[in-house]
Structure 1
Amino acid sequence: MKLSTFCRIPARRIAKTGICTLSVLLGTGLFVSAQTVTDRFAPLPAGAVRLTNFLENDIRNSIEHWNKGELPYREFVEFFRSQAAPQFALGEMWGKAVRSGCMFYRYTQDPELKSILKATVEDLLSVQNPNGSISCTPEEQQPGGENGDLWERKYVMLGLDEYYRWVEQNPAVLEALKKHADCLIAQIGHAPKTEIVDLGWSATNIGHEACHIESSTLLEPFMRLYNWTGEQRYLDFASYIVESGGTKHFDLIQQACDNTLPYKMSGHYPKAYEMMSMFEGVVEYYRATGDERCKQAFMNLYDNIRKNELTIIGNAGADQPYHPYVAGEAWGNTAFEQTNPDITRMMETCVGVTWLKFCSQIMRLTGDPSPVDEIEKYVYNGLLGAMKPSGDGFSYVNLLNGNKVVNYGWGWHFGDFYVTCCNLNGPMGLAYIPYVAVMEDDRGPIVNLYNASEIDMTTPRKRPLKLSLETDFPLTGNVIIEVTPEKKEEFTLKLRIPSWSANTVVKVNGKTQEVAPGTYAELTRKWQAGDRIEVAFDMTCRVIDAPHGSNRKGDNFQAVVWGPIVLARDQNIDPDYDKPVRIIADENGIVKIKKVNPTLPTTRIEFAVPTADGEIRMTDYASVNGWEGAKICTWLPVKTE
């Protein structure tokens, strides 16, 4: 079967053929393009997963107060209409807002949200230029360079793609998307066109030699368009981007193949957000072509980010000590430098959300549970910890000690309403939670996340199947899963056993199963209505010593972790929040903590933690409200007296 061939066959059959992937288009019909590589896991159809309680409250808060709230969609389109944007890259705002809105619609099927999205898409299509571009740059000045024209047009493509995929398969949207892409193909390429690595703002915006890493992120939307159409020119343009290497002076794919550490990739400008955005496209390119060099590259990058960049709350990047001029948005060997007291900006929300999406790609492709461990860590700590309690936005960057939230950086004021790249990207992280929570393969369901939820799906024989997760996780580690197939049927239900849970107990109808941390427990049986799975995760509280980075002043700190939840001292309830302490732990680093009633109504979890000088109160990192000026202490200075 040629790559341009299309399939209109049932999703379950697609998964078995090894010819077509179903990972990106489920929920809008079964029209998918042929691929040479099949994902191991597939998301469930739109609306199949319904969360309750813990994470659901955050999702609804964001939808109501952000995507359906104050977002100035008309003003976003006006940047394209006037073609006189007052600042570089403002054209990204429309695509980011619509992208998360469409993913939220996939989850909620909310008619009000659909109406908002439909209106703004129609508004955007009205500004398409005669040459097909939807751009803030006038035709005679295209392709734009330091104004971020290609980055903006990338987000136009992603916004239109998400709308067409999840909200409405309007032929006019796909046609506009194709014209927009065809204009880029006409303008970008080998001479006499303009090379893609010669266009962009990075790193000239900080006074360094050009890098232009952001322009090559067009790879992802071009691969998505190829998946929709099967038209060879879109794959050819994607191949051109891959061959260009991603930046002006460095081949990022080859550097990743060579296991170059992330903070050393791309020379002086290893911008974390844009680099992962490009590599999301590399994953899609691999699905279509089977290019093993590409697979080696993105797998190496994934492993190196996990080992060398992620902080305790699951995000990455910092301004010190390697790339201070990138304002905390570059890779910085952050896993080892996270307690460096010289750091002033770190862990951009755009980085965390793009890491979550990248992990979703790796998990779906490989069936490896480790990316879900990373998603869980970021969601419950970094993502929720960056969100405004009011729901109308996210912090630009986060700190572990001091000012937890910092909401200044690249953005624009619409009257009194301030919009940044990060409070546009944060909702996309929330929208991905139901997307990855429960999935399927050709053998049955896959439970990835353990928030309370109800799932309607089908068995491998296409019969109705309901799963019900009853739990207050992560307040406790107890989960009950009711399995209700319409008819008795043998299939395999996979449960992710987190790597942090050393002694997980899983029982099926009272019978204990053998499970191991960091794996999927495969439960194969003839399931019938009334079958019950009981899970008890090991929510042991552990103390963790600081990593040793380049600054010895960062060595003498400890952190406290409860299951997957990072704890912190909150100045809102503790005036001595940053005073040195010595946590009492046994020889294995286990701390005997006591759960207490939260001091504040907005706190999710609070504990009394033993120290040599008496108990201190610690809460989950995410609950600490730093938006009114209160500070945080996550890495606790160790008392040496």
Structure 2
Amino acid sequence: MTHYIIPKIISSAVLVAFLFSCEKGGQDTVVSVVERIDTTATNAHYISNRAPLKPSALIKLPVGSVKPEGFLKEYLVRQKNGLTGHLGEISAWLQKEDNAWLSKDGEGDWGWEEVPYWLKGYANIGYLLEDQQMIDEAKIWLEGTMNSQRADGNFGPKHFDGDNQDFWANMIMLYCLQSYYEYSNDEKVLDLMTKYFKFQLTVPDEHFLNGYWQKLRGGDNLRSVFWLYNRTGEPFLLELAEKLHRNTSDWVGRDHDLEDIHNYYEVRDGGEVPDWYRDQIDWHNVNHAQAFREPAQYYLLSHDDAHLEATYDNFDIIRAHFGQVPGGMFGSDENARPGYADPRQGVETCGMVEQMNSDEHLLRITGDPFWADHAEEVAYNTYPAAVMPDFKSLHYITSPNMALLDAENHAPGIANSGPFLMMNPFSSRCCQHNHSQGWPYFVENLWMATPDNGLVAAIYGPSNVTAKVGDGQEVTIQETTQYPFRGQLAFTIKTAQPTDFPLYLRIPHWTTGATVSVNGKTVKENVKGAGYVKLAREWNSGDKVSLTLPMEIEVKTWEKNSNSFSVSRGPLTYSLKIGEDYIRKESDETAIWDSKWQEGVDTKKWPSWEIRPTTDWNYTLVLDKENPAASLEVEERPWPESNFPFTPENVPIMIKAKGKQMPTWQLDQYGLVGELEDLPATSDQPVEEVTLLPMGAARLRITAFPNLK
């Protein structure tokens, strides 16, 4: 079943509006339900798209405007105390000696994507936690980067792909510089970017973005050009935008020649390449997760609906063939291979955080709540299990069905040769550094400004936001919630004086009927379908808004994957509870071949882990798919004192179910969960009690269950 229903026509029409009288002070609240937030106005307080770019659907607030609370803050603290916070001390690529990012002439043995990958998350965690030590450390790298700008406008390491400059690593560093500018207002960032983009404009097309990674990922460069254009209005930037799109890989086209699809690929059992494989220019998981959005980014300038449509279609195409699995991602391992689409196939941790970043970009470009729903799906289901709870190690590949994480080689069952399933702080050099952006970027996009000088709770999680609204009054809104585990969200407004502005609350696609109250009075109920509830009124300090999102159990059938099925409730998907035994391994003995750490690092302080099952995992569920609530019992538990709900011991919610073992379902010759298509459709085993956990808390898990007659 394809459960991604993508709206193709972007509408700002108001579906229904009602006027209610709230008792506090006699003010009236105008309540509307809208598919999209109207873009005919322009926000007066935050930088939006300049003409001729399409109007901003939603506007990102400056870094630091949104602060995490609850478990989201705990996540950032664990990152700070874990791998992200200490990579500068242990990763060879982050050593300051002979590092090209700190060199005025761009020379040095260490200098490519690793520094900016890490800095994207590290610096922003510092800003969000107001951690001065992290901010100061980040500034060393940022100042070094800005000081590296040369007379021609180029900056950063002198890195080449053949005879052509490799612009890829600079694309990532531009993210870091923009976040720093939003935090500090340091005008040197705008000066550097202006000179650098003038330099890029001088590079002949035949030498521009000429290479694998940079050509596919040109959308990241395009995004930065628009960011600067919205601040300076320099006309040459639009010329550069056209040049970037012209030289970026063709993410719009279909029916490509195979020789133009450069990622490694193979077809199972030596079969023919299927026709649909030609409908994407690249099937590398990280490339796709971050680059599929490029046409929608260019749409801001082209105004051509076909470009926006192409991004939606790109999302659909990879999921139609490799994403018929729970958790929001797709089974490519590193490169998607025709014939390998079982839920035991996984995705890189890099792919997860880049997908979340793309979802956040597309939410701002389109205003479509689908992208917020999807960002939550990946962030709350797939991403948490990719890392150890202490955030001191992670694994390269994460799958919906994985019953063993060990140091063995599982190729060709997965596409990567090496110990890519175990938890290791040094493997691999990309995910080791790039995973750091996932949670801080997610937090920054929880709240956004709207074109009509309001605010929208765009993605849900415990947080607070401080921003200008209405005629310029600053307000703070505290969001108190245990979402995504519970469906109750409370918002408290703090303002120095009464102020009039619209507050929008996103309605997820999965809700069975949301209820909104203002100061204890219900103002709208039974809201269904993706969209936004708009509350327009004069707000006073202490006003309270509550949103209740009923969470019903749903069973999703994945017809294209052997009719397997998964169980979800609200934004969370659930996995079979499997006992987990953590076995310590020495990282320098189990890391992959390209792992490198600084000289003198005590690797024993940074161990790796195998996770082996202590209970049987080969179960399917016995349930009534037409009425799943009748055979599944939701059990709420106390919120954990640790404020960290993503472990089997600490989950605040479980589902009790009935299951049957399938004796022939075992680990196969590659040490992976056996493929679903090889299983019988019946089981003669007795019915047993089993427990389901939120997918994000299950580092060993069965999430796509075999279908029984």
Is the Cα contact below 8 Å between 2:498 and 2:538 reproduced in 1?
yes
Which amino acid in 2 is paired with 1:513?
Answer: K
Quote the Cα distance in structure 2 between the aligned partners of 1:150 and 1:262. Answer: 31
Name the structure 1 match of 2:632: 592
Q: 1:349: how far off?
A: 2.4
Structure 1 pair 56–547 and aligned structure 2 pair: CA distance change class (3 A) = farther
Quote the Cα distance in structure 1 between the aligned partners of 2:537 and 2:337. Answer: 46
Name the structure 2 match of 1:373: 373
Q: 1:401: how far off?
A: 1.2
Name the structure 1 match of 2:544: 532
SS of aligned partner of 1:390: coil
Q: 1:423: how far off?
A: 3.2
Asked if residue 583 in structure 1 is aligned to residue 600 in structure 2, the reply is no
Structure 1 pair 588–333 and aligned structure 2 pair: CA distance change class (3 A) = farther
Is the Cα contact below 8 Å between 1:276 and 1:354 reproduced in 2?
yes
Structure 1 pair 600–580 and aligned structure 2 pair: CA distance change class (3 A) = closer
Which amino acid in 1 is paired with 2:698?
Answer: V
Q: Deviations over 1:446-479 (max 9, x none)?
A: 1123322333334313224332323222332222
Name the structure 2 match of 1:560: 567
Name the structure 1 match of 2:398: 398
Which amino acid in 1 is paired with 2:697?
Answer: S
Name the structure 2 match of 1:572: 579
Quote the Cα distance in structure 1 between the aligned partners of 2:614 and 2:546. Answer: 41
Is the Cα contact below 8 Å between 2:466 and 2:476 reproduced in 1?
yes
Name the structure 1 match of 2:590: none
Equivalent of 1:446, from 453, 456, 463?
456
Once the two structures are overlaid, the 10-residue window that deviates more, 495-504 or 459-468, is 459-468
Is the Cα contact below 8 Å between 1:399 and 1:405 reproduced in 2?
no
Equivalent of 1:608, from 648, 656, 660?
656
Is the Cα contact below 8 Å between 2:296 and 2:310 reproduced in 1?
no
Name the structure 1 match of 2:351: 351
Over the matched positions of the two proteins, sequence identity in percent amounts to 19
Is the Cα contact below 8 Å between 2:63 and 2:124 reproduced in 1?
no
Name the structure 1 match of 2:251: 252
Name the structure 2 match of 1:264: 278
Q: Deviations over 1:301-327 (max 9, x none)?
A: 3555676664555443434xxxxxxx5
Asked if residue 200 in structure 1 is aligned to residue 215 in structure 2, the reply is no
SS of aligned partner of 1:584: coil
Q: 1:116: how far off?
A: 0.8
Structure 1 pair 451–126 and aligned structure 2 pair: CA distance change class (3 A) = closer
Is the Cα contact below 8 Å between 1:121 and 1:160 reproduced in 2?
yes
Q: Deviations over 1:467-516 (max 9, x none)?
A: 23232223322222233444444443221121112132333323251322
C-alpha RMSD over aligned residues: 4.1
Asked if residue 318 in structure 1 is aligned to residue 331 in structure 2, the reply is yes
Is the Cα contact below 8 Å between 1:567 and 1:621 reproduced in 2?
yes
Q: 1:430: how far off?
A: 0.6
Q: 1:92: how far off?
A: 0.9
Equivalent of 2:703, from 613, 634, 639?
634
SS of aligned partner of 2:82: helix
Equivalent of 1:154, from 164, 171, 185?
171
Asked if residue 42 in structure 1 is aligned to residue 59 in structure 2, the reply is yes
Which amino acid in 1 is paired with 2:654?
Answer: E
Q: Deviations over 1:228-273 (max 9, x none)?
A: 44434443232123223x33xxx3224499xx99853345x33343
Name the structure 1 match of 2:441: 432
Which amino acid in 2 is paired with 1:295?
Answer: L
Which amino acid in 2 is paired with 1:510?
Answer: K
Is the Cα contact below 8 Å between 2:550 and 2:570 reproduced in 1?
yes
Q: 1:284: how far off?
A: 4.2
Which amino acid in 2 is paired with 1:618?
Answer: L
Question: Structure 2 regions of 5+ residues with no counterpart?
Answer: 1-36, 257-273, 410-415, 419-423, 581-612, 641-646, 661-686
Once the two structures are overlaid, the 10-residue window that deviates more, 534-543 or 217-226, is 217-226
Equivalent of 2:131, from 91, 105, 110?
110
Q: Deviations over 1:110-144 (max 9, x none)?
A: 32221011111233345555655445547xxxx53
Is the Cα contact below 8 Å between 1:317 and 1:333 reproduced in 2?
no
TM-score, normalised to structure 1's length? 0.76
Structure 1 pair 581–17 and aligned structure 2 pair: CA distance change class (3 A) = closer
Aligned length: 569
Q: Deviations over 1:534-564 (max 9, x none)?
A: 3322222233323324xxxxx1533221221
Q: 1:593: how far off?
A: 1.6
Name the structure 2 match of 1:621: 695
Structure 1 pair 131–49 and aligned structure 2 pair: CA distance change class (3 A) = closer
Is the Cα contact below 8 Å between 1:489 and 1:527 reproduced in 2?
yes
Structure 1 pair 290–109 and aligned structure 2 pair: CA distance change class (3 A) = farther
Quote the Cα distance in structure 1 between the aligned partners of 2:186 and 2:316. Answer: 37
TM-score, normalised to structure 2's length? 0.69
Once the two structures are overlaid, the 10-residue window that deviates more, 69-78 or 477-486, is 69-78
Is the Cα contact below 8 Å between 2:654 and 2:694 reproduced in 1?
yes
SS of aligned partner of 1:523: strand
Name the structure 2 match of 1:492: 502
Quote the Cα distance in structure 2 between the aligned partners of 1:176 and 1:638. Answer: 57
Quote the Cα distance in structure 1 between the aligned partners of 2:703 and 2:312. Answer: 30
Q: 1:78: how far off?
A: 1.5
Structure 1 pair 17–481 and aligned structure 2 pair: CA distance change class (3 A) = closer
Structure 1 pair 187–468 and aligned structure 2 pair: CA distance change class (3 A) = closer
Quote the Cα distance in structure 1 between the aligned partners of 2:463 and 2:558. Answer: 36
Q: Which has the higher helix share?
A: 1
Quote the Cα distance in structure 2 between the aligned partners of 1:361 and 1:22. Answer: 21
Quote the Cα distance in structure 1 between the aligned partners of 2:95 and 2:326. Answer: 36
Once the two structures are overlaid, the 10-residue window that deviates more, 561-570 or 179-188, is 179-188
Q: 1:385: how far off?
A: 2.2
Question: Structure 1 regions of 5+ residues with no counterpart?
Answer: 1-14, 203-210, 320-326, 550-554, 626-630
Is the Cα contact below 8 Å between 1:456 and 1:464 reproduced in 2?
yes
Name the structure 2 match of 1:62: 79
Q: Map 1:231-242 to 2 at 5 A.
A: 231-242=234-245
SS of aligned partner of 2:390: coil
Q: Map 1:452-491 to 2 at 5 A.
A: 452-491=462-501
Which amino acid in 2 is paired with 1:241?
Answer: L
Q: 1:388: how far off?
A: 2.6
Quote the Cα distance in structure 1 between the aligned partners of 2:302 and 2:149. Answer: 32
SS of aligned partner of 2:628: coil
Is the Cα contact below 8 Å between 2:395 and 2:427 reproduced in 1?
no
Is the Cα contact below 8 Å between 1:381 and 1:621 reproduced in 2?
yes
SS of aligned partner of 2:445: helix
Structure 1 pair 31–379 and aligned structure 2 pair: CA distance change class (3 A) = closer
Structure 1 pair 45–216 and aligned structure 2 pair: CA distance change class (3 A) = closer
Is the Cα contact below 8 Å between 2:445 and 2:458 reproduced in 1?
yes
Quote the Cα distance in structure 2 between the aligned partners of 1:394 and 1:155. Answer: 22
Equivalent of 2:299, from 286, 291, 312?
286
Structure 1 pair 159–282 and aligned structure 2 pair: CA distance change class (3 A) = farther
